[in-house]
Copies of this chain bind each other. A is one copy, B any other.
């Protein structure tokens, strides 16, 4: 069951904030009838405006094979409710099975690129267009991309700001420590800014 009614568009100048704090993400892509989903712990913004990101996607993965064809993908940000799913899709190859079907993942087509975006259990998603950088893709498995559309669940991200509190713990971001252990976003601390 999908309840996507709380998702709202995120202004592109705020899109990089969605991964500013280092969450583990799901990378989805599709090329014709082929589609895939994997987990990626290694991603970061590289620019706010235009919103650009970098994400490490192993060159041997099916996801990289598809992205090499279509030049597009989506980043979906799982909440704590999707810890098991995140680990599972990071541990099996989509060459062998359709992981969306296997895990009963309800994805819809993103508004700009048509990439599979997931709202149920996720706090946000970003549709991304690859910026081809052959050398870094080859040497470091690092893919640069521009964010062309983004949306977030307004219960946890609104007006360009995350709000993590006791009322939305299922949507708190998860951060992979290694070996299936994740830490969730905890207390918010405000630095002195005067």
Contact = CB atoms under 8 A, between A and B. Distances in A.
Of the candidates A56, A83, A187, A189, the one having the most CB atoms from chain B within 10 angstroms of its own CB is: A189
Nearest to A183: B185
Contacts of A162: 177-178, 181, 183
Nearest to A188: B183
A46 B180 contact: no
Nearest to A43: B44
Contacts of A42: 20, 44-46
> Which of A24, A176, A178, A188 has the most chain B CB atoms inside 10 A of its CB?
A178
Contacts of A23: 22
Q: Which size bracket describes the interface of A in this complex?
A: 35 or more
Interface stretch (A102-110, A112-120, A135-143, A147-155): A135-143
Nearest to A87: B191
A184 interface: yes
Contacts of A174: 189
Given A22-B22, A83-B191, A183-B185, A56 B41 contact: no
Interface of A: 17, 20-24, 41-47, 52, 54, 56, 80, 83-84, 86-88, 91, 133, 135-136, 140-142, 144, 160-162, 164, 172, 174-193
15 contacts: A17-B177, A20-B175, A21-B22, A22-B24, A44-B54, A47-B141, A80-B189, A83-B190, A135-B135, A136-B144, A142-B142, A175-B175, A181-B188, A182-B190, A183-B188
